[in-house]
């Protein structure tokens, strides 16, 4: 009979995300993950095959946590949900700035191949949810075109936040973007 596990998978993922976020995949060591999670190497390997498996589970966990926030589904479909995403979506938890997925994009060439699939699927889901909100409004441009614009703007806001841009300045940019979007 094996030893009883003294940690939860979700807790390990929650603690691993900030490490991967700060250091990136390649520069995160197993020792970094042990220190951050409080779980030793054998405990981590009992739950995850290897660092890649822990990273992919962390990325998927982050994506799921973002979807559960319901920023695009909280109210009636429309501009207000999109504005909520832009104003709240880039700051998932205290201490986190930007977006974990956006932070990882420059590293796509060195990330595990499956990370690209997770990120692509997440982005496609985000575009569909944004387009559904836009379709609830009257627009001159197709919802899919505007959804692409919103995603690109959102990624830019996330990059700004990763660079420590002033929150008031970010809010001003979002307000101007929303004015333009509502007129589209």
The phi, psi pair for 89, rounded to 5°, reads -70, -25
pLDDT of residue 167: 81
- The pLDDT tens digits of the residues spanning 57-71 come to 999 999 888 888 899
How many C-beta atoms surround the C-beta of residue 42 within 10 A? 8
- The end-to-end CA distance of the chain, in Å, is 64
Please give the angle made by the CA atoms of 46, 19 and 30, to the nearest 5 degrees: 40
pLDDT of residue 57: 96
Q: DSSP assignment, residue 105?
A: G
Q: DSSP assignment, residue 3?
A: P
| Ranges of the chain with pLDDT below 50 | 1
In this prediction the pTM is: 0.85
pLDDT of residue 38: 94
């Amino acid at each position: 009979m094996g030893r009883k596990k003294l940690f939860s998978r979700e807790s390990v993922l929650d603690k691993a995300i900030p490490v991967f976020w700060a250091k990136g995949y390649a520069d995160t060591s197993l020792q970094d993950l042990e220190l951050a999670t409080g779980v030793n190497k054998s405990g981590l390997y009992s739950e995850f095959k290897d660092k890649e498996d822990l990273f992919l589970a962390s990325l998927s966990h982050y994506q799921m946590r973002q979807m559960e926030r319901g920023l695009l589904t909280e109210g009636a479909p429309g501009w207000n949900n999109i504005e909520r995403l832009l104003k709240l979506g880039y700051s998932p938890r205290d201490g986190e700035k930007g977006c974990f997925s956006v932070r990882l994009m420059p590293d796509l060439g060195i990330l595990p191949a499956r990370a690209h699939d997770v990120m692509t699927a997440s982005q496609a889901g985000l575009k569909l949810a944004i387009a559904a909100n836009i379709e609830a409004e009257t627009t001159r441009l197709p919802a899919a075109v505007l959804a692409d614009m919103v995603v690109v703007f959102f990624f830019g806001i996330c990059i700004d936040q990763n660079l420590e841009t002033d929150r008031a300045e970010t809010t001003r940019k979002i307000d101007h973007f929303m004015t333009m979007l509502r007129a589209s």
